[in-house]
Chains A and B, each alone.
Chain A
Amino acid sequence: MTLLLIVLLPLLGTLVPLIGIRAGRTYCAWLTALLPAVALGITLYLAPLVFSGNVPQFFLPWIPQLDLHLALRLDGLSLLFVLLILGIGLLIILYARYYLSEQDSMGRFYAYLMLFMTSMLGIVTSNNLLLLWFFWELTSLSSFLLIGFWSHQSDARKGARMALTVTGAGGLSLLAGFLLLGQIVGTMDLSVVLQSGDQVRSSPYYLYALVLILLGAFTKSAQFPFQFWLPKAMAAPTPVSAYLHSATMVKAGVFLLARMFPVLAGTDLWFYFVALTGLVTLLYGAYFALLKQDLKGVLAFSTISHLGLITMLFGLNSPMAAVAGVFHIINHATFKASLFMAAGIVDHECGTRDIRKLNGLWRYMPYTTALATIAAASMAGVPLLNGFLSKEMFLSESLDAHMLGGLSWLIPALATLGSVLSAAYSLRFIHDVFFNGEPKNLPKKPHEPPRYMRLPIEILILLCIVVGLFPSSTVSGLLNAAVTAVVPAGYEPEIDLAIWHGFNLPLLMSAIALGGGILVYALRHYIYNFHRQFRSQDPNVIFEASTQAIVRVAQQAIDRFENGSLQRYMFWLLLTALGFSAYGLIESPRLSGNLPAQSIDWAVAVGAGMLCLSGLATVFFHRRRLISLIMLSVVGMLVSLAFARFSAPDLALTQLAVEVVTMILLMLALFFLPQKTPKESSGRRIMRDVLLAGAFGGVVASLNYAVLTRPLQSISSFFLENSVPGGGGHNVVNVILVDFRGFDTLGEITVLGIAGLAIFKLLNRLKLFMPSSDMEGRPWSPERFPAILASMAQSLLPLALLVSVFIFLRGHNLPGGGFIAGLVAAATLILLYMARGVEWAQQRLDFQFQPIAVAGVLIATLTGLGSWVFGYPFLTSAFGHFHIPLIGDVELATALLFDLGVYLTVVGATLMILANLGKVTTPHRPSKEKR
Chain B
Amino acid sequence: MEALYAATTGILTACGVYLILRGRTFPIVVGLTMLSYAANLFLFSMGGLRTAYTTIIGANMPYADPLPQALVLTAIVIGFAMTAFVVILAMRARGDLGSDHADGQRSDEPREEKQ
| A, B in one complex | yes
Bound Cα distance from A724 to B103, whole angstroms: 52
The answer to the question of A655 belonging to the interface, with a C-beta cut-off of 8 Å to chain B, is yes
Closest to B63 in A: A720
A605 near B78: Cβ-Cβ < 8 Å: no
Q: How many A-B residue pairs have CB under 8 A?
A: 314
B1 near A645: Cβ-Cβ < 8 Å: no
Nearest-CB distance from A538 to chain B (Å)? 39
The residues of B that contact A632 with a CB separation of less than 8 Å are 30, 33-34
Nearest-CB distance from A243 to chain B (Å)? 52
Q: Per-residue 0/1 for B30-53: is the Cβ within 8 Å of any A Cβ (1 yes, 0 no)?
A: 100110011011101111111111
The answer to the question of A682 belonging to the interface, with a C-beta cut-off of 8 Å to chain B, is yes
The residues of B that contact A552 with a CB separation of less than 8 Å are none
The residues of A that contact B18 with a CB separation of less than 8 Å are 619, 689-690, 693
A618 near B90: Cβ-Cβ < 8 Å: no
Bound Cα distance from A629 to B87, whole angstroms: 13
Nearest-CB distance from B26 to chain A (Å)? 5
Known: A598-B1, A618-B15, A701-B10. A643 touches B44 (CB 8 A): yes
Interface stretch (choices A54-62, A253-261, A741-749, A864-872): A741-749
The answer to the question of A536 belonging to the interface, with a C-beta cut-off of 8 Å to chain B, is no
Bound Cα distance from A221 to B30, whole angstroms: 61
The answer to the question of A917 belonging to the interface, with a C-beta cut-off of 8 Å to chain B, is yes
B67 near A736: Cβ-Cβ < 8 Å: yes
Q: Per-residue 0/1 for A737-765: is the Cβ within 8 Å of any B Cβ (1 yes, 0 no)?
A: 10001001100100110011011001100
A745 near B85: Cβ-Cβ < 8 Å: no
Which of A567, A597, A906 is the most central at the interface, judged by chain B CB atoms within 10 Å of its CB?
A567
Known: A707-B46, A708-B2. A662 touches B83 (CB 8 A): yes
The residues of A that contact B27 with a CB separation of less than 8 Å are 622, 625, 628, 677
Closest to B74 in A: A748
Task: Give residues 80-112 of B contacting A (CB, 8 Å).
Answer: 80-85, 87-92, 94-96, 100, 102-104, 108, 110-111
B23 near A681: Cβ-Cβ < 8 Å: yes
Bound Cα distance from A724 to B55, whole angstroms: 12
B51 near A646: Cβ-Cβ < 8 Å: yes
A737 near B10: Cβ-Cβ < 8 Å: no
The answer to the question of A861 belonging to the interface, with a C-beta cut-off of 8 Å to chain B, is no
The residues of A that contact B51 with a CB separation of less than 8 Å are 645-647
B52 near A705: Cβ-Cβ < 8 Å: no
Nearest-CB distance from B80 to chain A (Å)? 5
The residues of B that contact A504 with a CB separation of less than 8 Å are none
The residues of A that contact B45 with a CB separation of less than 8 Å are 646, 704, 707-708
Bound Cα distance from A771 to B26, whole angstroms: 16
7 shortest interchain CB distances as A-B pairs: A701-B10, A697-B14, A705-B6, A693-B18, A680-B110, A732-B66, A755-B81
A-B contact pairs, 19 of them (CB 8 A): A567-B103, A574-B17, A616-B11, A622-B22, A622-B27, A646-B64, A662-B80, A669-B91, A689-B18, A690-B18, A704-B42, A707-B46, A708-B5, A730-B56, A732-B66, A748-B77, A751-B78, A762-B85, A762-B91
B binding-site residues for A, Cβ under 8 Å: 1-15, 17-27, 29-30, 33-34, 37-38, 40-42, 44-59, 63-67, 69-70, 72-74, 76-85, 87-92, 94-96, 100, 102-104, 108, 110-111, 113-114
A binding-site residues for B, Cβ under 8 Å: 563-568, 570-571, 574, 595, 597-601, 604-605, 608, 611-612, 615-616, 618-619, 622, 625, 628-629, 632, 635-636, 639, 642-643, 645-648, 650-651, 654-655, 658, 661-662, 665-666, 669-670, 672-674, 677-678, 680-682, 685, 689-690, 692-694, 696-698, 700-705, 707-709, 712, 714-716, 719-720, 723-724, 730-733, 736-737, 741, 744-745, 748, 751-752, 755-756, 758-759, 762-763, 766-769, 813-815, 819, 823, 906, 909-910, 913, 917
Extra contacts besides A700-B10, A708-B49 (15): CB < 8 Å: A565-B113, A604-B1, A625-B27, A639-B37, A648-B69, A651-B73, A662-B33, A666-B83, A677-B26, A678-B24, A678-B108, A690-B18, A698-B14, A730-B58, A732-B63
